[in-house]
Structure 1
Amino acid sequence: MIRSHCLRRTPAAPARPGPRRVLPAVGVLLAAALLTACGGRPLQAGAAAVVGPDRITEAAVQARVAEFRAQAARLPSGQYQEQAGLVGATVSGMIFSEVVAQALAEHRLTVSDTEVAQARSDQAQAWGGEAGLEQMLLLKHAVPAREIDNFHREQIGLQKLAALGGRQIGTTDGNKTVHQLLAEAAAQLKVTVNPRYGSWDAQQAVLDSPSEDWLPQSGAAA
């Protein structure tokens, strides 16, 4: 799978392999006190999206973005550059996490804390320690430090979804399997999105006009 970058690493920084996740960058400014999106459900003021029974508030989105920017600001000068679409990408990522969780629940799959801890340890070792891991995930995937465990839980979950069809994530067949399962989960949740962050495509289970789809593409490589 692929994922858009919200910060650009300078050419001097070494390129290393890392986990990938899909996040789009979208944003259409539209304010309203009471909103109704493609799913037909009303969105109360202050909601960025409604995913099943859960409401993703604009305050939660703003807090996540603020956390990301505060951590990025502590990096050495010239090591990062924020690109357009960070807020929309954040909303989409929060929706994505809910959809992955739904897909796992539907198929009675779980990810243990032990699995998450092992994945984090392996990645930290590959990146020269926790500090290196935090910087890599921030720059490459816009993941703030407090979300690292959730990021790894999500990645392991995607691998388990692919394994349902005897596939591996990152292969054509594996991505196709995961895409189908996530689309089904998104349809079950009846995702509704505040139009300021984009419009919801119920058939494709994506936000319209993202720079990159947040679901794995059936023919995409990791």
Structure 2
Amino acid sequence: MHRRRRTALVLAAAIAAAAPLLTACGNDAHPGAAAVVGGQRITVAQLESRVNEVRQAQRAAVPDETQYQQVVSSTSSLTRDTLHNMVLDQVLHRAARDAGVTVTRKEIQQMRADLERQTGGSKGLETAWLQKYGIAPGHLDDNLRLQLEAQKLAAKLGTDTSQPAFWQALSKASGELHVDLNPRYGSWDVQKSSRVDAKTPWVREVTGAGDELTA
């Protein structure tokens, strides 16, 4: 993939380097909510459904029971990571919207086609995203939209996703959305802009599938 097509990969462990204004809720004002973003709840049921999709895809890809249990063990933080993906998806979408950035269906299809050529086809791409980033096949296009929004937002700001200007835009968006995270899924260190229980960056710059698959 050419450098001009660099894309910011949102990892399955979509955990922290962003959104310093994300805060953890410390009360029961939103019973049944895993998080509240922009006044809209991400319910525990919605989160569990998304996690179950990943587990079902993992099960289909690894039919051997012993190996499957190893996969489950190696992705024990899947629920929390998935919630952060869901929250940060909305934060980035808001930041992109604020900047006048849009992504078309054609752009998503083009990105997918490019990645499929690098990963051995549609199945190869789905497997790669499932294994490395915990993205179920049914949400792959949603994730690619996220990548494109990050890429185009950074370009609009005249920067890249590793620079403060990009993260400041996400911080502003998260403040506008008043993100409220259920503490059972972790909390945010506002000053360090990271999860208390994990410090894995949720986004990084890559130049091609080779980097993506070994990140």
TM-score > 0.5 by shorter chain: yes
Q: Once superposed, which parts of structure 1, at least 4 consecutive aligned residues long, lie more than 6 Å away?
A: none
Please give the alpha-carbon distance, in whole angstroms, between the structure 1 residues aligned to 2:99 and 2:191. 21
- Could you say which structure has the greater relative contact order, defined with CA pairs below 8 angstroms and 6 or more residues apart? 2
Query: Could you say what the CA RMSD is over the residues aligned between the two structures, in angstroms?
Result: 2.5
Letter in 1 for 2:106: T
User: Structure 2: any 5+ residue segments left out of the alignment?
Assistant: 1-6, 16-22, 207-215
Correspondent of 2:136 among 120, 144, 148? 144
Deviations for 1:37-77, whole angstroms, at most 9, x for unmatched residues? 74678532210000112210000100001010001001144
Please give the alpha-carbon distance, in whole angstroms, between the structure 2 residues aligned to 1:149 and 1:136. 14
Correspondent of 1:20 among 9, 12, 17? 9
Structure 1 position 196 matched with structure 2 position 188: no
Structure 1 position 209 matched with structure 2 position 194: no
The answer to which structure has the higher helix fraction is: 2
Secondary structure, aligned partner of 1:55: strand
Aligned-pair distance for 1:25?
Answer: 7.5
Correspondent of 1:81 among 62, 71, 75? 71
User: Structure 1: any 5+ residue segments left out of the alignment?
Assistant: 1-17, 27-36
Deviations for 1:128-148, whole angstroms, at most 9, x for unmatched residues? 111101100000100001111
Correspondent of 1:62 among 48, 59, 72? 48
Correspondent of 2:34 among 28, 48, 63? 48
Q: Which moved more, 1:128-137 or 1:195-204?
A: 195-204
Secondary structure, aligned partner of 2:42: strand
Secondary structure, aligned partner of 1:114: helix
Asked if the contact 1:39–1:190 (Cα under 8 Å) also holds between the matched residues in 2, the reply is no
Letter in 2 for 1:81: V
Deviations for 1:9-62, whole angstroms, at most 9, x for unmatched residues? xxxxxxxxx973144478xxxxxxxxxx74678532210000112210000100
Please give the alpha-carbon distance, in whole angstroms, between the structure 1 residues aligned to 2:110 and 2:34. 33
Please give the alpha-carbon distance, in whole angstroms, between the structure 1 residues aligned to 2:166 and 2:37. 19
Asked if the contact 2:116–2:122 (Cα under 8 Å) also holds between the matched residues in 1, the reply is yes
Q: Which moved more, 1:46-55 or 1:70-79?
A: 70-79
* Matched pairs, number: 187
Alpha-carbon distance change, 19 to 168 in structure 1, aligned in 2, over 3 angstroms: closer
Please give the alpha-carbon distance, in whole angstroms, between the structure 2 residues aligned to 1:70 and 1:145. 10
Structure-to-structure mapping, 1:78-117, within 5 angstroms = 78=67, 81-82=71-72, 83=74, 84-117=76-109
Alpha-carbon distance change, 213 to 179 in structure 1, aligned in 2, over 3 angstroms: same
Correspondent of 1:153 among 134, 145, 151? 145
Secondary structure, aligned partner of 1:134: helix
Secondary structure, aligned partner of 1:59: helix
Please give the alpha-carbon distance, in whole angstroms, between the structure 1 residues aligned to 2:190 and 2:27. 13
Secondary structure, aligned partner of 1:105: helix
2:118 paired residue number = 126
Please give the alpha-carbon distance, in whole angstroms, between the structure 2 residues aligned to 1:40 and 1:105. 29
Please give the alpha-carbon distance, in whole angstroms, between the structure 2 residues aligned to 1:105 and 1:70. 33
2:157 paired residue number = 165
Quote the sequence identity (%).
32
Secondary structure, aligned partner of 1:20: strand
* TM-score normalised per structure 2: 0.77
Asked if the contact 2:13–2:81 (Cα under 8 Å) also holds between the matched residues in 1, the reply is yes
